[in-house]
Amino acid sequence: MYSKKNALLLFAGNVGLSLTPQLVVANQNISKPNVLVIITDQLQAEMMSCTGNKYVKTPNLDKLASQGIRFERAYAANPVSVPSRFSLMTGRYPSEINMEDNDEQKNSVSKEILDGALGSVFTKAGYETAYAGKMHLTGSNYENGFENPKAYGFSKYLTPDDPEGREKTVAACINYLKTPKDKPFLLYASLINPHDICYMPLIDWTTAEKKKNPFANSKVNQFIKDILKLPEGMSRDEFIEKFCPPLPDNFEIPKNELPSFTTIKENNYIGWSRKNYTENDWRIYRYLYARLTEYVDAQIGEILNGLKEAGLEDNTLVVFTSDHGDQNASHKTGLKGFLYEESVNIPFILKWKNVIQENEIDSTHLISNGLDLLPTLCDFVGVKKNKKLQGLSVRPLAVSLKKRNKWRNNLLVENNSARLIIFDKTWKYSVDISKEKNMDLKQAKHEMLFNLENDKGEMNNLILDNKYLNELKNGRKIINNM
């Protein structure tokens, strides 16, 4: 088994960096670490108790963060599942294959991109590569279908009977970790929750509109009902007041919101819930989202315990992130797809004992989990990054080297109707993509400008304030040069 039996100091030249402390590697004959990537679906960055959130308890993620480094300013490349997951797999923006929404899942992916994808790179580097759980992968030109991790170079798909990433995925991951291996491994564990939050507005919408509900008799529907079941003898109002989180401070919709945000999917459950949910409905939504987050936190704990029980903890790089966040009642909406912080800001945690600094928080550097995951993993295991990739390795930040590479000053986030640029540390500029070029103040209804330092909740759109004309011009310039 590839486990820690004989400690060996890894020669720093293998990875091109001088480390403090020195790397400790598990086996005298193998000088590369295992890699465990755990990804959830729809978890926003602040839905962990280690971030100060009083309404959710995530002991396993809190412990992982305390054993490594947590990046507070990490963003999804696109706040929707399929585009984001394409980016995580390839290190490229989804717009590179003209994909900006889940509806474009079958867009073709070139052989060049697939050959440079996460599984392909690590397989070529001598790793055993395994994928488990939810896919939502694209690439219709692959011979075995687009929903297949093997298209991205993974040699094993552990859970063909659990393509959503539920209990069977957790069990499969633990079993895989405890199975003897003669080479290092990359395990990509993809868990669905707290994505089941989608079922609440979906069911409410189909019921209100008298539409056929395909999930009425599903196990997930019953799972949601069980979580929301009122204690015996307690009214709904009493339940809300006693158990449900209050509305967020940024519950209201900001003035001059992008038109594409105002009309986002207005003919489906996202737009319906924004228009029809009461304040109490939103508080129940927030309660459910917290419980689903705690549910997946427990699953993550099981996988991490399996890693420890297998004797692999010391020589495994663990990365945790999510494909996107959830609005969680901010700006009177739930779910995803918006370019507000709740949708785009996601957790990004790295841990490797005796290599990555412990109990650290990086609140400065702009991270793109989609662009930066692949370069980061390559850097840690000593594989050269594809020069065509825009992403950066966070390794110098994670191991706290005194000399750090020059970092990006701005970061682009895409969605199907707009573009977001985060720049100059705390500024956010968004514009509808149909109105990108040659903007002026007369077209201000198609833009948003926020200063996160003074307005974390993004309530005060500064687009019409002449005091911030320089920041506005800067945001426009960066977007137009992308």
Q: What is the pLDDT of residues 45-58, one digit of tens each?
A: 999 999 999 999 99
DSSP strand pairing (367-368 vs 8-9): unpaired
User: How many Cα atoms are found within 13 Å in the side-chain-facing hemisphere of 408?
Assistant: 20
- Comparison of pLDDT for 385 and 474, the residue scoring more: 474
**According to the model, what pLDDT value does residue 443 have?**
58
User: How many Cα atoms are found within 13 Å in the side-chain-facing hemisphere of 93?
Assistant: 13
pLDDT-derived band at 438, boundaries 50, 70, 90 = low
- pLDDT of residue 310 exceeding 50: yes
Rounded Cα gap, residues 29 and 7, in angstroms: 11
Contact 202, 266 (CB under 8 A): no
Average pLDDT estimate for 275-290: 97
Long-range contacts of 224-232 (CB under 8 A, 24+ apart): 224/196, 224/199, 224/200, 224/288, 227/288, 227/291, 227/292, 228/200, 228/284, 228/287, 228/288
**According to the model, what pLDDT value does residue 9 have?**
26
Rounded Cα gap, residues 39 and 131, in angstroms: 11
Residues whose CB is less than 8 angstroms from the CB of residue 229 and which lie 6 or more positions away in sequence, other chains included:
none
- pLDDT of residue 216 exceeding 80: no
Of 15-29, 255-269, 406-420, least confident by mean pLDDT is: 15-29
Cα end-to-end span (Å), the chain = 47
Residue 112 CB: number of other CB atoms within 10 A?
A: 10
Rounded Cα gap, residues 121 and 144, in angstroms: 20
- pLDDT of residue 232 exceeding 90: yes
Of 54-63, 72-81, 254-263, 297-306, least confident by mean pLDDT is: 254-263
- The CATH 3.40.720.10 domain(s) of the chain lie at 8-196+290-409
**According to the model, what pLDDT value does residue 218 have?**
85
pTM: 0.91
Residues whose CB is less than 8 angstroms from the CB of residue 110 and which lie 6 or more positions away in sequence, other chains included:
97
**According to the model, what pLDDT value does residue 25 have?**
33
Of 79-83, 104-108, 112-116, 181-185, least confident by mean pLDDT is: 104-108
Rounded Cα gap, residues 78 and 101, in angstroms: 9
- pLDDT of residue 169 exceeding 60: yes
Per-residue pLDDT tens for 312-361? Answer: 999 999 999 999 999 999 999 999 999 999 999 999 999 999 999 999 99
- pLDDT > 70 fraction of the chain, expressed in percent and rounded: 88
Rounded Cα gap, residues 320 and 301, in angstroms: 12
Candidates 2, 38, 26; CA nearest to 302 is 38
The DSSP string of 163-223 is TT-SHHHHHHHHHHHTS--SS-EEEEEE--TTGGGGHHHHHHHHHHTT---TTTTSHHHHH
Average pLDDT estimate for 179-185: 95
Per-residue pLDDT tens for 377-409? Answer: 999 999 988 888 999 999 999 997 655 668 999
Average pLDDT score, the chain: 88
- pLDDT of residue 136 exceeding 90: no
pLDDT-derived band at 280, boundaries 50, 70, 90 = very high
Whether the bond between 21 and the residue before it is cis, its omega within 30 degrees of 0, is yes
DSSP strand pairing (34-40 vs 185-190): parallel
Look at the domain 8-196+290-409 and name its fold: Alkaline Phosphatase, subunit A (3.40.720)
Of 57-66, 159-168, 236-245, 257-266, least confident by mean pLDDT is: 257-266
